[in-house]
Structure 1
């Protein structure tokens, strides 16, 4: 069985043909364009795969998308794609492979499942039993894999760790809440805070570069993000008895300037003994984690322990 994996992210669409052993037979990525271009971007990225791997060789489609989403209806309403409100993503992709299954989950849920299947979640004698995958980028998302099964919740939206409130007196979040992790730890949130405090750089990449050189405002922006993420991670760990957290995304790519203060904050605030066994790592699969997880939605549907 070879499947088409599709990853609908905050800044790009990606797709791949993935074999049962995890080999990517073909891969494509297209950046998001201007308003109204999203449907064309989806057709383009999928078309690049089916040009190389004929649809007759593909046995199903797994897709991870930014949310909110409704897996029962097969619709998505990504916050970063205003034109897609209750967009019929499953029906649209079903036209590519008529009669074959299409399975949908959140992009961060797929990132977590990908890490569990092909990455750090399975790097020892046994895979992680309770793992949280996080995407820290233009937004902050999350997904849970419990005993090898993605936990999606009754509506399919479990894992929205970016919308845990960590600062009740903080700024409003686009989700409608106040002081969410995303307002502090997302790339735009960090840049917004740094700019309000005198930093004059352009974007999160520049903020990371300045933090590496010791720029005090940039360093503080990353410390604030780390503290917010640590609070959310410890909250999730207390609820689900997590043993492993894997973090990817553009902000996480900053490396030690984020993970150093993050691990210190977790160690400082992990009071309960079982919380102190928690491992926190950067993604081992990079930009492909979501694609592997999307593929796993189909490939592992019958036996998630394999």
Structure 2
């Protein structure tokens, strides 16, 4: 008997990726298109339809039981809508309804991209075997998701665990979200670079002011570059410790482009965590890099679809997660 498949979509500001994924997390078919992020909403949807068209045209499609979507946010899973910050043509866009129509009425599960990454890391990655975990994406922004009691905890709208907009500095800089002193305002790649430049770091002859360039300078010993990463690590540590204190996670998994800085980020982060995670029940909290890489969005969207099927009695996600 063939194992059922799910379709997965990973929707971001630069690329729309799709895949057919089996119950062990193996990707059997892929498709992708560039995201026409500056176009109107229907044009963006046509790119999604083109990806789905490639998936539906193959002989495997007949075994697909559900569709999972991990999308840049904000998302509202309760309404089935998405409003990605970097796709202005989609504001309250009825993505679930549109995908359901294209796929012949299959069940559709929608989660934010941070929650999708969390699902992937819990199923196939560094959080596997942990019943209570925080997984984070530290990149252009800072997002995240939670696993509580052994299950993905997306929350009513699919945004639970959005650690990037926890305030960790009451008098900090205003954040575009409307808050002040948010983790993202200090720890995202662009803000690491911004802080370095504001404090006197000078880029090399190529003029590169990215976080990766700051990381290179920090490895070479530039004190301002080092300090910018240490400040980012401190903000992450404060947010992680607050989360651990609130819901008793025992592992924090960090992925995204900034995590590629490696020890530049993780060494000061673990050191700072000792100053914030001080209560007895959070002292054993571990921090580790993510391992699912660029496929995290697709694998996580598939896990969300399998979890939705489990809730409807079609498949047991625990048996799927266990391999």
TM-score relative to the length of structure 2: 0.87
Cα distance between partner residues in 1 of 2:283 and 2:186: 24
Aligned to 2:313: none
* Shift of residue 31, structure 1, vs aligned partner: 4.6
Aligned to 1:161: 163
Is residue 2:302 matched to residue 1:295? yes
In the TM superposition, what are the counterparts of 1:144-159 in structure 2 within 5 Å?
144-159=146-161
* Shift of residue 304, structure 1, vs aligned partner: 3.3
SS at structure 2 position matched to 1:179: coil
Cα distance between partner residues in 2 of 1:143 and 1:240: 12
Cα distance between partner residues in 1 of 2:158 and 2:164: 16
Distance 1:214 1:7, change over 3 A: same
Question: Is this contact kept in 2: 1:163–1:182, CA < 8 A?
Answer: yes
List per-residue Cα deviations over 1:171-199 (Å, max 9, x = no partner): 21111111111111111111221222223
Structure 1 unaligned runs (5+)? none
Cα distance between partner residues in 1 of 2:73 and 2:195: 25
Is residue 2:268 matched to residue 1:246? no
Question: Is this contact kept in 2: 1:69–1:75, CA < 8 A?
Answer: yes
SS at structure 1 position matched to 2:62: helix
Is residue 2:318 matched to residue 1:305? yes
Count of residues in correspondence between the two structures:
302
Aligned to 1:23: 26
Is residue 2:213 matched to residue 1:209? no
Distance 1:256 1:291, change over 3 A: same
The partner residue of 1:228 within 217, 235, 238 is 235
Is residue 2:101 matched to residue 1:95? yes
List per-residue Cα deviations over 1:251-280 (Å, max 9, x = no partner): 112211111111111123321122111111
Cα distance between partner residues in 2 of 1:205 and 1:218: 11
Distance 1:56 1:131, change over 3 A: same
Is residue 2:291 matched to residue 1:278? no
Give the stretch that moved more between structures: 176-185 or 291-300: 291-300
The partner residue of 2:183 within 181, 189, 192 is 181
Is residue 2:221 matched to residue 1:219? no
Cα distance between partner residues in 2 of 1:275 and 1:287: 30
Question: Is this contact kept in 2: 1:148–1:304, CA < 8 A?
Answer: no
TM-score relative to the length of structure 1: 0.92
List per-residue Cα deviations over 1:225-271 (Å, max 9, x = no partner): 10000000000000011011111111112211111111111123321
Question: Is this contact kept in 1: 2:81–2:95, CA < 8 A?
Answer: yes
Cα distance between partner residues in 1 of 2:172 and 2:54: 43
The partner residue of 1:4 within 7, 20, 29 is 7
Is residue 2:120 matched to residue 1:114? yes
Cα distance between partner residues in 2 of 1:15 and 1:100: 16
Question: Is this contact kept in 1: 2:37–2:89, CA < 8 A?
Answer: no
SS at structure 2 position matched to 1:115: helix
List per-residue Cα deviations over 1:98-136 (Å, max 9, x = no partner): 1211111111111111111111222xxxx2110111111
Instruction: Note the aligned Cα RMSD (angstroms).
Output: 1.9
Aligned to 2:86: 80
Structure 2 unaligned runs (5+)? 311-315
